[in-house]
């Protein structure tokens, strides 16, 4: 099942705001922020332009809300995943990466990140959207910090790292994998990047010889 199938539910009847946010997630991941017009969003959401401007002052206003909504709907997906039940912290992190790999199905728009996709286009043109996308990515990274801290406490790593920078590095690898998957039209580089990250963590936390 794709990430889109896992996180996208049909919005309640009359929920134009939710429908527009979901339309933004779908269209922007498929065709980009700039190529997605207000008319496109309204058509995809099945709402009028008047409804759009009732809920959002502008397209940028929707972009900020859509980045937050992305966190709101993906957060529970990851919170409910089985990897949290593993006792060993490093195994929990491997389980997280395996879970990410399990979501890589279908075309790139089905498994890539709305926040990462949008940030690449607007980082120099819309500070509010850039900040909202950054918050979405870094807040998700923070959910791994405790597991990395526990892994560091359990087995001193072979390099000078911190839990926070390892958590953010994990997201850097994933976001880069999303870009290369789109550039090549192939999910293999993303899956390879996840596998290489697991190899790196194995080496980083490998028990040192006495």
Q: What pLDDT is stored for residue 10 in this prediction? A: 47
111 contacts 3 by C-beta, under 8 angstroms: yes
- Specify the pLDDT at position 38: 98
- CA angle centred on 67, ends 61 and 70, rounded to 5°: 135
Q: Enumerate domains of the chain plus CATH numbers.
A: 3-204 (1.10.357.10)
pLDDT in tens, the chain (210 residues): 456 545 544 445 459 999 999 999 999 999 999 999 999 999 999 999 999 999 999 999 999 999 999 999 999 999 999 999 999 999 999 999 999 999 999 999 999 999 999 999 999 999 999 999 999 999 999 999 999 999 999 999 999 999 999 999 999 999 999 999 999 999 999 999 999 999 999 999 986 543
Q: What is the pLDDT of residue 183?
A: 96
Q: What is the predicted pLDDT for the residue at 72?
A: 97
Instruction: Compute the distance between CA of residue 173 and CA of residue 197 in angstroms, rounded to an integer.
Output: 8
**Distance of alpha carbon 29 from alpha carbon 178, whole angstroms:** 11
Alpha helices for 103-126 (secondary structure H): 108-111, 114-122
Cβ-proximal residues to 168 (8 Å cutoff; 6+ apart), any chain = 138, 141
pLDDT of 156: 92
Predicted pLDDT of residue 206:
85
* φ, ψ (nearest 5 deg) of residue 61: -60, -45
> Angle, nearest 10°, between helix axes 163-184 and 114-122?
80
């Amino acid at each position: 099942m794709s990430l889109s199938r896992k996180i996208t539910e049909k919005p309640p009847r009359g929920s134009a705001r939710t429908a527009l946010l979901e339309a933004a997630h779908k269209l922007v991941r498929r065709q980009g922020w700039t190529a997605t017009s207000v008319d496109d969003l309204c058509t995809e959401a099945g709402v009028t332009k008047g409804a759009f401007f009732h809920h959002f002052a502008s397209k940028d206003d929707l972009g900020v809300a859509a980045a937050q909504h992305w966190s709101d709907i993906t957060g529970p997906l990851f919170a409910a995943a089985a990897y949290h039940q593993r006792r060993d912290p490093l195994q929990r992190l491997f389980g997280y990466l395996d879970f990410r790999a399990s979501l890589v199905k279908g075309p790139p728009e089905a498994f890539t990140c709305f926040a990462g996709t949008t940030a690449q286009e607007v980082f120099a043109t819309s500070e509010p959207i850039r900040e909202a996308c950054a918050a979405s990515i870094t807040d998700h990274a923070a959910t791994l910090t405790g597991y990395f801290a526990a892994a560091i406490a359990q087995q001193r790593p072979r390099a000078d790292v911190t839990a926070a920078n390892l958590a953010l590095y994990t997201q850097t690898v994933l976001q880069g994998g999303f870009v290369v998957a789109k550039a090549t039209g192939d999910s293999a580089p993303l899956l390879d990047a996840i596998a290489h990250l697991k190899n790196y963590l194995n080496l980083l936390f490998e028990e040192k010889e006495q």
